[in-house]
Structure 1
Amino acid sequence: MATKTLARGMGTFFKECPCKAPTRCPHPYKIRYRDATGKQREESGYATQDKATTRLTELYQAKKGSQKAGPSEGEKIGVQTLEDFASNWIAHRARGLKDNSVESYERALTLHIIPRLGSRKVGTFTANAVDNFVGDMVLDDVGSAAQTNAYKVLRLVINSARHRGGLSLDPFLDTTPPDYQRKDILIPTLEELNLIRQHAHDDDLRLVVEMMSGCGLRNGEAHATNINGLVAADVYRITDQIHGRQRIPAPLKHRDWGEFRETPMPAKTRAHLMRHAETHSPDQLGYLMTNGGRGGAGVGGSPYYSGNAFRHKWQKTLGAAGITTRYTMYSLRHFFASNCLAMGIPITDVAEWMGHKSIEVTYRIYRHLMPSSIGRAARLLNAGI
């Protein structure tokens, strides 16, 4: 039977049989058409012309509908700039994150990722683009901790786009992540710490110095120093921190409200805290550092200190003490860790006291400070045999 063609683009139907009257023979009809990709297809098994043409009509309408349909979600994401996609990503991601994590992600995006990669289309990311990004940060003397965080955030953003169809290949499979260099870990000596104590004339700054160097607190945790944290003569309980941007109490890093950690409190640190409490009365919640609103009430009239409140006074103190090494206030926390490890305290305990998410974090940062144990182990084993 000769092939019969319907309207343009709809396809054809026919029979492949030797019958003289194919329209009345029992053999089924076949149809031939082109799918949405332009590839020719055939189907068989249609008992009548009506059924064959009905099927061709359905296929034609479906093809026309797919041609009229807009781009998929993945295609839309692929042509977005990284800046546009990341702004939506952080807005949705923030719902499930702690405030301090959101702040860390936003800082990485604002300071490092968007200025270098913001105009690039999401679907064009390759391993070479990621490696160039890391290389640019190195050339710009970005600190290794900031490099690591920016790399992590970029990977989270790109993975989100990839899982939604924005790009097909993982550009991070063949990249080299930045190294967290130990050279960034600057630790003051005890002599330098004493000089800092001597020249820190601001009472609140001095309390921060003592709490960070004596108990290993983070900056925001030191800003939240609380008289109620003295749960024993030699133990300080850390229950919260002051959120740097909003200047309000917030849960500890890696913890929810109600969760806490405890750290040993040296007698010297406790004595200084008690002296501070005698001359600076705690507020109703027990917080000792409530002068952060001086010179302006700040966000919501908060009396607490912002994250960088002491930066100027810290630099002035270092200058007065004659210290030229570029220590940050976080160096005081490093002093606590190095002091613990030098005294032979197990790194597992140090990791717990410092509030690290895992012992691997502590080990990566402070492995070079741990006294070598292989010689000591050999001596102990020799004594045992």
Structure 2
Amino acid sequence: MAHIEDRWFNTIDGPDGKPKRVKSNRHGVGLRYRVRYIGPNGREASKSFPDRAKKDAEAFLVTIESDKLRGSYIDPKAGQIKFQDYAEDWLRTRAMDESSRESTEQRVRKHLYPYFGDRQLGAIKPAHVREWDQSLKSALAASTRSVIFTHLSSILSAAVDDRRLAENPCSAKSVTKPRATPRRVVPWTGSQVSAIRDGLPVRYKPIVDLGGGCGLRQGEIFGFSPDNIDFADGWISVVRQVKKVRSRLVFGLPKNDKDRRVPLAGSVADALRQHMDSRPPLTVTLPWEDPNSADRVSVPLVFFTDRKHAIDRANFDQKIWRPAVASAGITPSRATGMHALRHLFASALLDGGETIKALAEYLGHADPGFTLRVYTHLMPDSETGRGRPSTTCSRRPETPGRSSDGPRPGISRV
């Protein structure tokens, strides 16, 4: 039976047979009140309170008994595990691809452990979350802090699911998730893209056509195979990418683990045909997702290095892409990577009257709302988009399956 024990006094029978309280040998030493109760697992549990805190002990006992009746009881000792110990278990059991696991591990260990690592889960309060985020403002961009905050919230949400915490401190009303100020997308002009293409080695020029004409991500271009091209019907399938995991190149699914089909403009198809005629695809064998896996996949790649290897993104950016961008009179930066070609593709489709939903599917976005937030100002009927200078080539190509006077989801080769 649950009760509160006063460890500073014992109750004995007095000379008159009536109960009498006498000081115990613990009187004045340590915590005075101990709440003893039986947990849902049938085992006895307890929590101690200091002198003059009997009301707190009584309130705790009422809460415990109420939680047991509601089925929401959480053992107070369950939250005593250190954040780092619990987070390591979360990292080990969290379902994610290996590249995501690697980047998540790096962020959690670099930015969460220094502040939360030695704290007990149950001792983490909303004030700690606010203080932690404030401490990072001068060192990290809001977009990076937002990602790390999501990791922290996910770990603490898992602790709630595991009944180690009653609630997630990140969900408190007083805690505000960091949010980056959206950067306004300004697509390159056709002449700028042409200049970048001219600055690339011949073997890499069609990369610009595939990125700007079909909206593929960099890793998807590097993992692109002739098997993914349907020249007859005018479509390409995006089913894989090349990425680096733990310093090794691997094949993997596209971002969001979602394959897709994208319309193939005639000019892009011509560029791919010419490229593959002059440089036949090279079959490359790499691990699938996990660099330590014995699972190997062989794929004929359209683009590969002059040493007949799959393309390493970091090397390509540093030695090939950035010099080409600079040669076009554009300052190389994070915003001028190959990803910028996707903005040109999006701009062309929106100019042609394509819907946001279709554009999101072609770009491989998981949420059309995200696509709308990024590109709404480029829509022809938007207040900011109306009357803006054209960012694409003046001639839109004919795309198979589209009438000559209807919206065409493609751009001419630049």
Query: Which residue number in structure 2 is paired with residue 267 of structure 1?
Result: 266
Query: Which residue number in structure 2 is paired with residue 288 of structure 1?
Result: 302
Query: Which residue number in structure 2 is paired with residue 90 of structure 1?
Result: 91
Query: Which residue number in structure 2 is paired with residue 316 of structure 1?
Result: 323
Query: Which residue number in structure 1 is paired with residue 178 of structure 2?
Result: 178
Say if 1:216 and 1:333, in contact at 8 Å, map to a contact too.
Answer: yes
Query: Which residue number in structure 2 is paired with residue 367 of structure 1?
Result: 376
| Alignment of structure 1 residues 121-270 onto 2, 5 Å | 121-142=120-141, 144=143, 146-172=144-170, 173-174=172-173, 175-183=175-183, 185=185, 187-201=187-201, 203-204=203-204, 206-233=205-232, 234-245=234-245, 246-255=248-257, 260-270=259-269
With over 3 angstroms needed to count, the CA separation of the structure-2 counterparts of 1:197 and 1:164, relative to structure 1, is: same
| Alpha-carbon distance, 1:39 to partner | 5.7
Q: Distance in 2 between matches of 1:279 and 1:317?
A: 22
CA RMSD of aligned residues (A): 3.8
| Identical residues among aligned pairs (%) | 22
Q: Distance in 2 between matches of 1:349 and 1:283?
A: 32
With over 3 angstroms needed to count, the CA separation of the structure-2 counterparts of 1:78 and 1:266, relative to structure 1, is: farther
Letter in 2 for 1:371: P
Aligned residues: 309
What are the Cα deviations for residues 340-361 of structure 1, in whole angstroms up to 9, with x where unaligned?
2233210000001111112122
Say if 1:224 and 1:249, in contact at 8 Å, map to a contact too.
Answer: yes
Instruction: Name the one with the larger helix percent.
Output: 1
Letter in 1 for 2:343: H
Q: Distance in 2 between matches of 1:130 and 1:185?
A: 32
Letter in 2 for 1:75: K
Which secondary structure state, in structure 2, belongs to the residue aligned with residue 88 of structure 1?
A: helix
With over 3 angstroms needed to count, the CA separation of the structure-2 counterparts of 1:159 and 1:375, relative to structure 1, is: closer
Which secondary structure state, in structure 1, belongs to the residue aligned with residue 201 of structure 2?
A: coil
How high is the TM-score relative to the length of structure 2?
0.63
Q: Relative contact order: is structure 1 or structure 2 higher (C-alpha 8 Å, sep ≥ 6)?
A: 2
| Alpha-carbon distance, 1:132 to partner | 3.7
Which secondary structure state, in structure 2, belongs to the residue aligned with residue 183 of structure 1?
A: coil
Q: Distance in 2 between matches of 1:186 and 1:112?
A: 32
Instruction: Name the one with the larger strand percent.
Output: 2
How high is the TM-score relative to the length of structure 1?
0.68
| Alpha-carbon distance, 1:330 to partner | 1.6
With over 3 angstroms needed to count, the CA separation of the structure-2 counterparts of 1:184 and 1:372, relative to structure 1, is: closer
Deviation larger for 182-191 or 148-157: 182-191
Q: Distance in 2 between matches of 1:223 and 1:265?
A: 17
Structure of larger gyration radius: 1
Say if 1:213 and 1:333, in contact at 8 Å, map to a contact too.
Answer: yes
Which secondary structure state, in structure 2, belongs to the residue aligned with residue 365 of structure 1?
A: helix
Q: What residue ranges of structure 1 are gaps of 5+ in the alignment?
A: 1-8, 14-36, 42-61, 295-302, 377-385
